[in-house]
Structure 1
Amino acid sequence: MLKDVFVEFHHAFHRLAERHFKVEGLQVEIGAGIAPMRDTYPGVLATDIVATEHLDMALDAESMSLGDHSVRAFYGQNCFHHFPHPDRFFSELERTLVPGGGAILIEPFHGPLAAFLYKRLFKSEGFDRHFPSWETPSTGPMNGANQALSYIVFVRDREAFERKYPGLEILHQEICGNYPRYLVSGGLNFRQLLPDALVPLMKVVEKLLYPLRRVLGLHHIVVIRSKP
């Protein structure tokens, strides 16, 4: 069931890149984890960057580095909120992206159910929409990550983001609708609650619950583009 959710995330990445990035260049997944996008789209480079400070460091076992304006699309699933210095990430986007290329991030959503769950599920990761800084503290309850970081940067502090990075634009945001399956699957940390045979039924439930995604959603997608 969880693999099914990951594959849908991959398709969402591909759909949005095809719609918004009409340029040529590399496609790179950052923080690929256990379900890399290359399993669904072989042309995507899978890397294991999560909390590095510079994206031009060694990216994989081949020590591949990225040249200036060489990347059409970055894809990141649940990794952005682990970056201790988001400003460095955005600076690297400006350096490495082809004009008209961009980054697509799937991150924890900030709706009522998401806020309730994320505050309680992980001891090493907090969820604080009011935290004043974009940077993750090295000590305290959020020493692993602030799962509300995408809300802070792209919603609460959007005007500040646009002032600091005039070459980047927040092009699109949407809420993922597969939250019932993600929740029932147990995610990466918990046991699956229902058998895989019920996946078709779960998809029907998701269609019925789609109008409630702003209340019940667990993930959202943010598309950032380097201005042509």
Structure 2
Amino acid sequence: MRHSYPEVLATDIVATEQLDMALDAEAMSLDDHSVRAFYGQNCFHHFPHPDRFFTELERTLKIGGGTILIEPFHGPFAAFLYKRLFKSEGFDMHFPSWETPSSGPMNGANQALSYIIFVRDRQAFESKYPGLEIVHQEICGNYLRYLVCGGLNFRQLLPDALIPVLKVVEKLLYPLRRVLALHHIVVIRRTS
């Protein structure tokens, strides 16, 4: 992003002040109504106080601006895998609170947070934040490629030359996407 669009502020957005170079998503040092769009990949579930993040979205986003989040999905395969893959992060779809106890920048996260807020507790979200609207949710169909490439933390398992084959297999498995998907996209727009 930094290289393709130099006018875009590209940084690690976290919910902790432990990283000096990061933009704290729960207390952004940005002007009111100054941002057109935020994009976050695998970061939202690390925010220990998501209410603070939503308050910051209402404050910093221009009307009509939005946020695109790519987060762990809540299907059967994702729930099975995420509970076992990352020892420092949980996956608890039944956690009673939106807030997750955090013990550092990558610890204490609940990878089911996007499910909890945007699916299970959607009415509560809409009631608390009437100026923010969930305008789109979509399941990502790249689960095989994500696993084979190693995701963000592991080594690549197959050469890049096999990506076209994996895309074909993913298209054939499309009817099973709600079972096999590992990520989903949530788009939120500031309406007022």
Of residues 104, 109, 115, the one that matches 1:151 is 115
Is 1:191 matched with 2:174? no
Aligned length: 184
Q: 1:144 to 1:40 in 2, by over 3 A?
A: farther
Of residues 83, 96, 118, the one that matches 2:47 is 83
Cα deviations by residue, 1:91-123 (Å, 9 ceiling, x for unpaired): 000000001111010000000100000000011
Confirm or deny: 8 A CA contact 1:58 1:65 kept in the other structure: no
Give the CA deviation at 1:44. 2.6
SS, match of residue 163 in structure 1: helix
Matching residue of 1:73: 37
Give the CA deviation at 1:143. 4.6
Cα deviations by residue, 1:57-111 (Å, 9 ceiling, x for unpaired): 9749xxx931110111000000000011100000000000001111010000000
Greater RCO, CA 8 A, separation 6+: 2
TM value normalised by structure 2: 0.89
Q: Which runs of 5+ in 1 are unaligned?
A: 1-36
SS, match of residue 189 in structure 1: coil
Cα deviations by residue, 1:3-37 (Å, 9 ceiling, x for unpaired): xxxxxxxxxxxxxxxxxxxxxxxxxxxxxxxxxx3
Matching residue of 1:4: none
Matching residue of 2:165: 201
Matching residue of 1:15: none
Q: Which runs of 5+ in 2 are unaligned?
A: none
Higher helix residue share: 1
In 2, distance between residues paired with 1:109 and 1:127? 10
Of residues 92, 95, 101, the one that matches 2:56 is 92
Matching residue of 2:188: 224
Cα deviations by residue, 1:168-227 (Å, 9 ceiling, x for unpaired): 111110001111100111112222221111111111112212221111000000000101
Matched AA of 2:76: P
Matching residue of 1:104: 68
In 1, distance between residues paired with 2:166 and 2:112? 27
SS, match of residue 63 in structure 2: strand
Matching residue of 1:213: 177
Matching residue of 1:125: 89
Matching residue of 1:170: 134
Give the percent of matched residue pairs that are identical in Structure 1 and Structure 2: 87
Give the CA deviation at 1:43. 4.0
- Cα RMSD (Å): 2.1
In 1, distance between residues paired with 2:179 and 2:4? 30
Matched AA of 2:169: V
Matched AA of 2:55: S
Is 1:52 matched with 2:13? no
